[in-house]
Structure 1
Amino acid sequence: MLYGITAAATALLLTALLAAALRAPALRLRLVERRRQRDVPLSGGVAVVLVTGLVVGAGQWLGVGPPADGTRGVLVAAGAVALLGLAGDVWRLRRRVLAAGTAVAAACVVPYGETGVVGTGLLAVAWVVVVVLAFRGLDHADGLAGTVGVVMAFGAAACAAVEVMDGIAGLMSVLAAALTGFLLHNWHPARVALGGCGSMSAGFVIAVGAVYARAGSGVVESAGVLLALTALPAADAVLVLVVRRLGGRGLLRGGPDHLAHRLRRLGLTAPGVSLLLGIGALSGMLVGVLAHAGHLGAGTLWWVVGGVLVVVFALSRVPVYGAPRSVSSQVEGPLRVRSG
């Protein structure tokens, strides 16, 4: 207990300090996310990745942390995904390249002993890839990815704790603390951003941690729990893909058509959007954790599915294309121009 509190506090403080320290070098190197009004350095993602690995690794090296429980392999794979995301930030890699690289990393750490190689194991790899890309898609508004990431990480930590997987639970807790330290600089108006480096690695760690916690359980119920834990990124991804498909737009073409963009069109402020969507993520996460622990029946998970569909349908009615330039600039102020 004392180690967990100390590790989380250390991760929060170090991430806040490192994100601020790396801000100027990122600006000089032009490692930035270009927004309408200003360039935002991507030092936050690098800070989250480095601090999470450092704190967890130091705890295991000093012998004060919980048993590894596969966390070393997850950290190595997450580091590879972070480098892939960083390359995407610098060279604007295609999403298919990012997806392929993430799939390889996920295939190296999925617990095949519990899932099997064919069938469930491959589904787990595919699910990790989907979560990583969906979470990366949230990193387009001030405070959004960090807020949702903290909620999801705590959910995965709780599920791992139920299974007495202390190493995975500790890793998730440290990641949640690091994302909280990042949020100190990412809340509106954002001074740093995650970028592909931070968003992809964080999404990868959370997704793999949830897979570890559910490994060996029923496929259908596990799918429901995993969906509940990641309900907000799932809703955002489904909304974007369905609307673009029905509108005849390219599925991989960026645009201001995510959940956050549509809520801003309805008049919400940037902090209000992050808080509202964070509450939505928290609601799904609580259902997922309680169902995983056996306190809620599997049928309750259908309410999460229904909630996602309701949100997708309701916000799909909000017009986001073809608005006059003056209106668009007023609404999208703190949101990024390039949206995945």
Structure 2
Amino acid sequence: MLYGIAAATTALLLAAVLAALIRPLALRLGLVDRRRTRPVPVLGGLAVVGATCLVAGAGDWSGVAPLGSGVGQLLAAGGAVALLGLIADVWRLKTRFLLLGTAVAAACVVPYAEFGVAEGVLGVGWIAFVAVAFKGLDHADGLAGTVGVVTAFGVGACASAEVMDGLAVLLSVLAAALTGFLMHNWHPARTALGATGSLFAGFVLAAAALITRTGYDPVASTGVLFALTAVASADVLLVVLSRLLAGRPVLRRGPDHLAHRLRRLGLTPSGATVVLGSASFAGVLVGVLVHGGWVGRTGATCVACVTVSVVLLLLRVPVYGPRRLESTQVSGHLRVRNG
């Protein structure tokens, strides 16, 4: 208990200090996110990865809080995913390469002996999906960090219920590191997670959630896993549907994520993050209650129905301006007249 408090406090402070030290380096190298209203350095995720790995690794190495071979392997795979994210932050890797690399790392941590080959392959795909979905949440100040903290506490509660102490320790350290990072990421953000931190957080959370469902009914597990990651899943679903309906390339960036649409409805940047953080808390709470057997699997079904309903409603919010179409039409008229 005392070690858990000390580890969480250390991770929080270490992440906050590292984020402050890394920010000038990112600015000097020109590694910034230009999708926002102002350029924001994107190497803040290094602080989260560093604090999590150092604190959790120190507890395992000293024997005070051993992670266990499976959790240690998960942390190592998460580190590899973070390295892939760092490469993406520096050289702008395409999303399909991130999916492929994350899937390879996920294939190293899925417990095939308990799940079987078919379910294990589905688990690999799900982990890669959630990791990339968390990368998408980094489009708004404080959003990925807030959702990450809430999800880490929820998955940690599931791990504690299964007496997976090493996994619970890792998740508490990750939650603390994300909290320390949020000191610099809340609006107006001074740094962002970038692919480094968002892929790492999403990967660790998804893999940990999957491991806690080992031995459970696959259908019930699907509902629990969706509830634990409802906001990230909703963001991907909304973006993909929106771009397909608009005839835009699915992997082409645009102001069409959850927070973008909430802001168009009049919410402030912080207000949008609070709303989505609250939604994440509601979904995670249902997931934990279903996992613990306090609520039937219909609870997870309700989360899925509400999520789909919200996505369909937000699809009606206009996000793609007509500027490009208008400019194309004008240039076309000019060519006709000149011809």
Equivalence for 1:286: 285
* 2:61 equivalent to 1:61: yes
Alpha-carbon distance change, 54 to 264 in structure 1, aligned in 2, over 3 angstroms: same
Q: Which residue of 2 aligns with 1:90?
A: 90
Query: Equivalents in 1 of 2:65, 2:99: separation in Å?
Result: 32
Shift of 1:38: 3.0
Kindly provide the amino acid, as one letter, of the partner of residue 305 in structure 2. G
TM-score in terms of structure 1 length:
0.93
- Rate the CA distance shift 1:37–1:123 in 2: closer, same or farther, 3 A: closer
Which whole-Å CA distance do the structure 2 matches of 1:301 and 1:309 have between them?
A: 13
1:29 to partner: Cα distance: 1.6
**Contact persistence 1:4–1:170 (CA under 8 A):** yes
CA contact (8 A) 1:227 1:234 kept: yes
Q: Distance in 1 between matches of 2:95 and 2:21?
A: 30
Q: Please give the residue correspondences for 1:200-215 in structure 2 after superposition, counting only pairs within 5 Å.
A: 200-215=199-214
Kindly provide the CA deviation profile for residues 27-73 of structure 1, in whole angstroms up to 9, marking residues without a partner as x: 11222212454321123100000110000000011111144251210
**Which residue number corresponds to residue 336 of structure 1?**
none
Task: Give identity over the alignment, percent.
Answer: 62
The 5 A counterparts of 1:170-249 are 170-249=169-248
Most deviating of 121-130 and 60-69: 60-69
- Structure 1 range deviating more: 281-290 or 72-81: 72-81
Match of 1:164 in 2: 163
Tell me what 2:333 maps to.
Answer: none
Name the larger-Rg structure: 2
Cα pair distance change 1:141/1:11, threshold 3 Å? same
Cα distance, 1:291 vs. partner?
Answer: 0.3
Q: Larger deviation: 20-29 or 254-263?
A: 20-29
2:115 and 2:48 map into 1 onto residues whose CA distance is 30
- Alpha-carbon separation, structure 1, partners of 2:274 and 2:37: 23
Q: Give the aligned partner of residue 34 of structure 2.
A: 34
Relative contact order: is structure 1 or structure 2 higher (C-alpha 8 Å, sep ≥ 6)? 1
8 A Cα contact 2:43 2:89, kept in partner: no
* Aligned-pair Cα RMSD in Å: 1.3
Shift of 1:212: 0.7
Are 2:148 and 1:149 aligned? yes
Give the unaligned 5+ runs of structure 2.
Answer: 325-339
The aligned residue for residue 329 of structure 1 is none
Q: How many residues align?
A: 324
Aligned partner of 2:128 in structure 1 is: 129
Question: Which residue matches 2:24?
Answer: 24
Matches within 5 A, 1:92-131: 92-116=92-116, 118-131=117-130
> Secondary structure in 2 aligned to 1:255?
coil
SS state at 2:44 partner: helix
Which shows bigger deviation, 25-34 or 61-70?
61-70
How has the CA–CA distance of structure 1 residues 165 and 36 changed in structure 2, closer, same or farther, with 3 Å as cutoff? closer
Letter in 1 for 2:274: L
* Cα drift, residue 323 of structure 1: 6.0
TM-score by length of 2: 0.93
2:60, 2:36 → 1: CA distance?
44
Given that residues 36 and 139 in structure 2 are in contact (C-alpha distance below 8 angstroms), is that contact kept between their aligned partners in structure 1?
no
User: Structure 1 CA distance, aligned partners of 2:36 and 2:171?
Assistant: 34
* Partner of residue 43, structure 1: 43
Q: How far has the Cα of 1:94 moved from its partner?
A: 1.0
- Deviation sequence 1:291-310 (CA, Å, 0-9, x none): 00000001111100111011
Who is 2:4 aligned against?
4
Structure 1 segments unaligned to the other structure (5+ residues): 326-340
Structure 2 matches for 1:321-340, cutoff 5 A?
321-322=320-321
Runs of 4+ in 1 over 6 A off after TM superposition: none
